[in-house]
Amino acid sequence: MPTSDIGQEATEQGGLGDVLRPVRGKLVLACVLQAGAAIAGLVPFVAIAELARELFSDDPDDGRLWGIAAVAVLGLVIRLVLMLGAASITHFADVELSLDLRRQMAERLGEVPLGWYDDRDGGEVKKAVVDDVASMHHLVGHTFTDLTNAVVTPIAAMVLLFLTDWQLSLIVLVPFLLGVAGFSRQMSGYGDKMAKYNGALEEVNTGAVEFVQGISVIKTFGQAGRAHRRFLDAANRLVDYFWDWVSGLLRISSITEVVLSPLATLALISGAGTWFVSTGRIEAVDLVLFFVLGLALTAPILTLGMAANDLQTASQAAQRVATLLRLPTLPRSEDPRWPDGNDVVFEQVSFSYDGERQVLHGVDLHLEPGTITALVGPSGSGKTTLAKLLCRFWDPTAGAVRLGGVDLRDVAPEELYRRVGFVFQEVQLLRTTLLENIRLGRPQADVEDVEAAARSAQIHDRILELPRGYGSVVGEDATLSGGEAQRVSIARALLADAPVLVLDEATAFADPESEAAIQDALSELAAGRTLLVIAHRLSTIVAADQIAVVDDGRIIELGTHEELLVADHVYRRLWDADRRVTVSSGRSA
């Protein structure tokens, strides 16, 4: 599914349960311990009530008072131990889970088709691997135990109160129920509203980016007001929406807050309690338990809300992670075969990116070892796609690509990439020194080898002009043009010394000077190799052993430059057009 992105796929199925499965046992144990801690945490409160009862009795017993105090301390100690236990377990689970997930993701990312990366930028992948795994930390490390605490504490407190006096308990329950009701009002449709809010925010971002990107055009044409508008409108919509939502929330939440405040609870207990005592339903000292436990009832509601929020964020993250872990991978042969030689055969190759529109239709092409084959043709005709199939960015939908007689699907990936090198349009240089960038091709190469490769790729002299020569860092003190960057990657490919090499649009960025340089680099590359070149300028490939004209996913002409000129067909027209461009732009062909 090359065209769908991580985010879209994520909504298809739930992932939190799947993702958490390896640590489920630990989480359950931690929650059980935490529940024990919550119950133990109520012991001191009960002890206070019991102390009061003893102190107000006619004949307080010293021994009994000390006994109660000891039980209170014991309760606290047990609570502490259980909480520590729960926290250590969840943190172990957290470390285990994030290591495990990152390892699985790295493995999976190594197996997805290379072509998958074409459609997305690194940011998206980084978000899943780094941020989403991190946002599960809070969930695993804290949220489940917080949630257990927030649920068990009020329930246990309620049970104790009901055992003391169920009628007064019912009254004390009122603010709690009001609080819960208010809170769920507040949270109702939270997901939808948040989504709407994010949508509005996204619009503002788009507007802002558009505005900034277009700023030179806008200024040039004096249209500042107009370009602004989309941004301003989006910003106004966001503010309106947010205000509506928040002002509604504020009303509910301030009411909820008052109802749930300790003062309100105490007032209620005092009022109702006085009435219960004066009518002789309960003893005055029974009220102490209500005073101390009544507060335990309402406090956790806020925690509940926050935990619900965490849970939502984490499930979205988990879905993205789960989606990444389910990405289709290129099948790896169980029983890899060894290519015999380095000739390449495309055999009735058809391909479709989306399973609907065919981009290649039954292409046959033979690349003999030690020859140059050039692909030419209009933009969108399928040249890059064909070349990428040879590097197994994808597998053909029908037909096969064979290297040394073996279907690429049966070649072990390591062996494939030892034999097939490529330099594609989207040149990727890492943010490190030029030396290291080139040495990626063969990490154990020494400096002389690197320089030799750079010389062959016609980039050595340019590198020496940089402030720190080969030690200059890409993106810091090495700023290279597209053509220069491409020659660096050609040097890398040269160093890797793969017998089959694929070059796409090698001169797309080139000025006439670097075009000539690239042409020289090409002939250097061609020596003894099987070369497949996609040429932007026809002048660079007149010497190719065969030129294949691609049109709408088919090879419609095949031959040498001279043969194709004589044939006087599509190539001839392309050639004439290319000449005109060359002449009018003042270049020599």
Residues of this chain that interact with Mg ion (CB under 5 A) are 384
Which of 381, 486, 519, 540 contacts ligand ADP by CB under 6 A?
381
Decide: 401 and 570 in contact? Cβ < 8 Å.
Answer: no
Residue nearer to Mg ion on the CB measure, 381 or 539: 381
383 binds ligand ADP (CB under 6 A): yes
Give the CB-nearest residue to Mg ion.
384
Instruction: Name the DSSP letter for residue 130.
Output: I
CA–CA distance, 311 with 139 (Å, rounded to integer): 7
Q: How far is the CB of 511 from ligand ADP (least distance, A)?
A: 21
Outline where 165-189 has alpha helix (H): 166-187
Stretch that binds ligand ADP, among 127-135, 382-390, 490-498, 574-582 (CB under 6 A): 382-390
The residue to which tokens 């007064």 are assigned:
168
Residue nearer to ligand ADP on the CB measure, 94 or 505: 505
Q: How far is the CB of 533 from Mg ion (least distance, A)?
A: 12
Residue nearer to ligand ADP on the CB measure, 234 or 549: 549
Decide: 488 and 437 in contact? Cβ < 8 Å.
Answer: yes
385 binds ligand ADP (CB under 6 A): yes
Task: Choose the one of Mg ion, ligand ADP, none that binds residue 385, judging by a C-beta under 5 to 8 angstroms depending on kind.
Answer: ligand ADP
Q: How far is the CB of 382 from ligand ADP (least distance, A)?
A: 4
Q: Which residues of 498-536 are buried (b: 16+ CB within 10 A; e: fewer)?
A: bbbbbbbbbbebbeeebbbbbbebbebbbeebbbbbbbb
382 binds ligand ADP (CB under 6 A): yes
Residue nearer to Mg ion on the CB measure, 383 or 402: 383
Q: Which of 442, 462, 583, 578 is nearest to 521 (CA)?
A: 462
Decide: 265 and 294 in contact? Cβ < 8 Å.
Answer: yes
Phi, psi of 534 (to 5 degrees): -100, 115
Q: How far is the CB of 385 from ligand ADP (least distance, A)?
A: 3
Decide: 172 and 268 in contact? Cβ < 8 Å.
Answer: yes
380 binds ligand ADP (CB under 6 A): yes
Helix/strand/coil (H/E/C) assignment for every residue in 226-294: HHHHHHHHHHHHHHHHHHHHHHHHHHHHHHHHHHHCHHHHHHHHHHHHHHHHHCCCCCCCHHHHHHHHH
Decide: 456 and 402 in contact? Cβ < 8 Å.
Answer: no
Decide: 92 and 26 in contact? Cβ < 8 Å.
Answer: yes
Task: Choose the one of Mg ion, ligand ADP, none that binds residue 2, judging by a C-beta under 5 to 8 angstroms depending on kind.
Answer: ligand ADP
Stretch that binds ligand ADP, among 285-293, 306-314, 379-387, 560-568 (CB under 6 A): 379-387
Residue nearer to Mg ion on the CB measure, 276 or 571: 571
Task: Choose the one of Mg ion, ligand ADP, none that binds residue 353, judging by a C-beta under 5 to 8 angstroms depending on kind.
Answer: ligand ADP
The binding track of 105-144 with respect to ligand ADP, each residue x by CB under 6 A or -, is -------------xx-------------------------
Which of 83, 322, 359, 390 contacts ligand ADP by CB under 6 A?
359
What are the residues binding ligand ADP (CB under 6 A)? 2-3, 118-119, 353, 359, 377, 379-385
